Amino acid sequence: MKTLVGCGAAAGIAATFNAPMAGTLFALELIVTDFKQEIQLVAYNRALDTVVDRFAQTGIDRLPVTDDRGRLAGSIVMSDIMRQYSQEVVNRNISIELGARIAAQDPSHTLNIGEHTSIAEIDVPHWMVGKTVGDIQLRSNYGISVFLAKEIQDDGEPRFVTPGPSYEFRAGDTILVSGKPEDINNLVKKA
C-alpha cells in the first residue's frame, strides 16, 4: 500500500509542477522511506565512461544529473548515451575510411569536394602542439574542422581519436581536416 501511495504522490507532484524528477525524489524521500536502492547522481561535467559505469552499476535507464553546485539539473537516459556513442563510432569509422582513401588515391593526401572544399590529412603544425582544439578554435578562427587525429603510440601503432574541445595536439601526429583549400594551406604554413 505504501508503494501505491508513493507512486500516486510522485505522479501528482510531477503533473502539478511539471517536474517528474522532483516528484520521484519527493516520494522516495518522504513517503517510501524504506526504499533500499541508493540514488546514483551524475554531475553534468562527468566523462561519458563515468556515466556509462553509473548506468551499469544501477541497472536503471535514467539517472538524475546535478549542476556544479549539486542541484538537480535534469536527467540523462541510457538510450541517449548509446545513440551518441553509436554516432561517434560511425563518425570515427567514416573518418578513418576517408583518410585511407585519400592516402591511397592522392600522394598529397588531399581530396577536393566540389570547388570550394577539401579534406586533407596533414601533420600537426608545430604551432599547434600542446594547444587544445578549444584554445585554437580552428572552425571559428581558421574555417577548418578537425574530424580525426591519428596518434602514434609508444609501440608504433596508430590510435585514432575523435578530437573534442579538450583534445591536445601532439607533435608527430596527423589530423584529418576539412575546409577551403586556401584555409588548409594557411593553417599548415602559419608560423
Task: Please state which CATH number belongs to domain 106-189.
Answer: 3.30.70.1450
* pTM score of the predicted model: 0.48
User: Taking every pair of C-alpha atoms in the chain, what is the biggest distance, in angstroms?
Assistant: 73
C-alpha cell of residue 133: 582544439
| Pairwise CA distance, residues 17 & 19, whole Å | 5
- Domain ranges (residues) in the chain: 2-81, 106-189
One digit per residue, the tens of pLDDT, for the chain of length 191 reads 556 666 777 777 777 778 777 767 776 666 555 555 566 788 877 777 778 778 777 777 888 888 888 888 888 888 887 777 777 776 677 767 766 765 665 555 677 777 788 888 889 999 999 999 889 988 888 888 888 888 888 888 888 888 888 899 999 888 988 888 888 888 888 85
Architecture category of domain 2-81 in CATH:
Alpha-Beta Complex (3.90)
Q: Compute CA distances 100 → 103, 109, 118, 120, whole Å.
A: 5, 9, 15, 11
